[in-house]
Every structure is written in C-alpha cells, then in structure tokens.
A and B are shown apart, each in its own frame.
Chain A
Amino acid sequence: MHQYSDEELLDLFRNSDNANYAFNLIVRKYQERVYWHVRRMVIDHEDSNDIVQDVFVKAWKGLEKFRADSGLFTWLYRIASNEALTFLNRKKKFLFLPLHDVENMLSQKLESDTYFSGNEIEKKLQKAILTLPEKQRIVFNMRYYDEVKYEQMSQILGTSEGALKASYHHAVKKVEEYLKDD
C-alpha cells in the first residue's frame, strides 16, 4: 500500500470529496505510535483505548483548521500528551488521591495486567518509570522508546531543547538508581 506523506494526506483531506478516507489513512498511519505513547503513560489498555479514540476524534474536529505550522505527527503527539495528562489528573481528583498514589495504583495494575508480558526486570523498569513526575515521564518515554528528536519534543511540549535534555538526563539517572536499588 502506498505510504502517503503528511502533506499528501492533508491535501487529500482538504481537496478530496472524501475527507473520511483521508482521515482513515491518517489514523492508520499514526494510531500505533499514538497508542503506545498513551499506553506507557496510563498503563491500562482499556484506558488507553478510550484516550486514543478521543485523541483522534479531537484531531478530526480540528484538522480542518490545522495550519500545518508543525508537523501532523507533532500535533497528534501534543493532543495525545495532553489527553493522557488530563486523564491522570482527572483520576487523581476523582479518587481524591495525591499523584504519587495514582502512580502506585498504576504500578499495582501492572502486576495484574493481562496485556503485559514483561519479565521481572521489565516490570521493574516500568515501575521505575512510574516513579518519575508525569511530565518527566513523557520526556523519558518519548526519547527512550519513541526516539523522538529533541527539536520535535520541544514543539510538542513547548519546552526548550536544553531543558528537555536536562530533564531526560535526570530521568535516566533516577530510573537507573531505582533499578540498582535492592
């Protein structure tokens, strides 16, 4: 199947009579990256599924006004990051929990997650990542797993590249420390 570039997809969406088709192609192109980004933040598959659907519904509603100043991928990542953070904050407020308790809860969820097949070391790595503050966690996941460039991350998160590099470096050290503990 021909892999469309972002520009081609946006042109297709704007010029074609069938915007649905173009949007469907956008979803197919980015769904996995968006899903894994969200999943690493909220851990649970069902929650991730809801959030990913919301991300793309928001994209559908906003795509007409999207001016492509930033790339499509950057824009979708930004929506996904915001949705994941909003979800975690809502959970914190709804359960009247401090944030670190939400992270503890996610850690426990990992233990019983049917869709997590990692061994003990991988489980420990995930738990270590969950000890990071949420924004630092986003930075860590983007760089460590998705290998997003700092320049792109800067556009997505609205933070300077220098601050992101420092944040990632600190995150790596914290995770390493957690892993070496015991």
Chain B
Amino acid sequence: MENENTRKEQEDFSPLLKKLKGENAFSTPEGYFETLPERIMEKAMQKPARRFAGILPVKALRPVILALGVVFFAVISLFLFQNRNDDIYLSESDEAFFDDYLAWYSEYQTDVYYDIILAAENGNDTDMFPEGFFEDEDMIDYMMMYNDYYMDLPPLDEEDFW
C-alpha cells in the first residue's frame, strides 16, 4: 500500500525521478552480506580494553583519585597566585635599571621624532639625515610609517618644541 502511495507521490512530484529509479547502482564485494553478521558478532563480543583492570580496583579508588586531583589543582593554583604576587614587586636594582631604560628610550625616540619633523621643515638638513638624503615622497612615506607609533607619545608642548 505504501509502495503505491510512494509511486503516486513520485509521479506527482517528479516523473523524471520516477523514470530514473531503477537498479541499485552501488554494489558490494562478493559475499559481503553472508559474512557481515559474523564480523558484527565478533566485534560485539569484544570486551572493551580496560587499562588498569585486574591491577588496581579502579572503582574503589575513585574517591581517592578525585581527592588527589583537588589537592593537585589547589597546589598549582597557590603556586601560580604566589608567583603573580612576586611579579608585582621589583627588586631595587631592577627598578633602577627599568627607570634608566625608560628614560633613554623615550629621549632617543623623541629625538628621532624631532629630527623627522625638522627634516621635513628644513629640507632634510639635520644631524640625522644629510642634505638630500630623502626625496619629499620618501620623507612622507617614512613619516607615515612611524606615524602610528608616535601617536602614542604624550603631546608636545608647542613652546618647548619651537
């Protein structure tokens, strides 16, 4: 009965598809279905390998394993927390070095910034760039390249600059 319904439906939906429905174009290796049940039964009968079965009573040890896990994570968390706190305080020598480095870095970078601006204004005549070192276009490219970086510098006082 359902086959009749299906046929009618296929006729209604698509006569083309109904016409194409013929022999199964897929095939299997010879004798495949005769041996498949045996292979399935063999696979179904296999017991899953249990790594510690017979050596340790894994089920009984479950609470102990859980407790050890909790202790392990607690120790790791404590260790990380302490290290994080240590990072906040620098030794005196580290602090001095860090200050020097910052001072040098900002001074040096600011000089470069001034040099570029002066070069642009005075026809490249600066200590850093000999005359004619840059074409105008090169200068613009160079400034554009550094522009994003220098945007982060604190704004210069106009009086100091000129």
User: Could you tell me which A residues sit within 8 Å of B by CB distance?
Assistant: 20, 23-24, 27-28, 31-32, 35-36, 39-40, 45, 49, 52-53, 56-57, 60-61, 115-119, 121-123, 125-126, 143-145, 147, 149, 168-169, 172-173, 175-176, 179-180
Asked if residues A116 and B13 are in contact (CB atoms below 8 Å), the reply is no
Given A24-B37, A28-B37, A57-B43, verify A122-B25 contact (CB < 8 Å): yes
Asked if residues B27 and A117 are in contact (CB atoms below 8 Å), the reply is yes
Asked if residues A147 and B13 are in contact (CB atoms below 8 Å), the reply is no
Question: Which residues of chain B are within 8 angstroms of A57 by Cβ–Cβ distance?
Answer: 40, 43-44
Selected contact of A115 from candidates B26, B33, B39, CB within 8 Å: B26
Selected contact of B6 from candidates A24, A122, A143, A180, CB within 8 Å: A143
Question: Which residues of chain A are within 8 angstroms of B2 by Cβ–Cβ distance?
Answer: 147, 149
Question: Which residues of chain B are within 8 angstroms of A119 by Cβ–Cβ distance?
Answer: 25
B123 to nearest A CB, angstroms? Answer: 56
User: Which of B14-22, B63-71, B77-85, B111-119 is the contact stretch?
Assistant: B14-22
B24 interfacial contact with A, CB 8 Å:
yes
Question: Which residues of chain A are within 8 angstroms of B3 by Cβ–Cβ distance?
Answer: 147
Asked if residues A53 and B43 are in contact (CB atoms below 8 Å), the reply is yes
Asked if residues B17 and A175 are in contact (CB atoms below 8 Å), the reply is yes
Asked if residues A115 and B27 are in contact (CB atoms below 8 Å), the reply is yes
B41 interfacial contact with A, CB 8 Å:
yes
Given A27-B40, A125-B20, verify A176-B25 contact (CB < 8 Å): no
Given A115-B29, A147-B2, verify A179-B44 contact (CB < 8 Å): no
Interface size classification for chain B: 20 to 34
Asked if residues A172 and B24 are in contact (CB atoms below 8 Å), the reply is no
**Which A residue's beta carbon lies closest to that of B38?**
A24
Asked if residues B25 and A27 are in contact (CB atoms below 8 Å), the reply is no
Bound together, the chains give a CA A137 to CA B4 distance in angstroms of 22
Bound together, the chains give a CA A163 to CA B29 distance in angstroms of 37
**Which A residue's beta carbon lies closest to that of B3?**
A147
Question: Which residues of chain A are within 8 angstroms of B22 by Cβ–Cβ distance?
Answer: 122
A170 to nearest B CB, angstroms? Answer: 10
**Which A residue's beta carbon lies closest to that of B15?**
A176
A137 to nearest B CB, angstroms? Answer: 14
Question: Which residues of chain B are within 8 angstroms of A122 by Cβ–Cβ distance?
Answer: 20, 22, 25
B80 to nearest A CB, angstroms? Answer: 32
Bound together, the chains give a CA A179 to CA B41 distance in angstroms of 42
B72 to nearest A CB, angstroms? Answer: 31
Bound together, the chains give a CA A31 to CA B22 distance in angstroms of 21
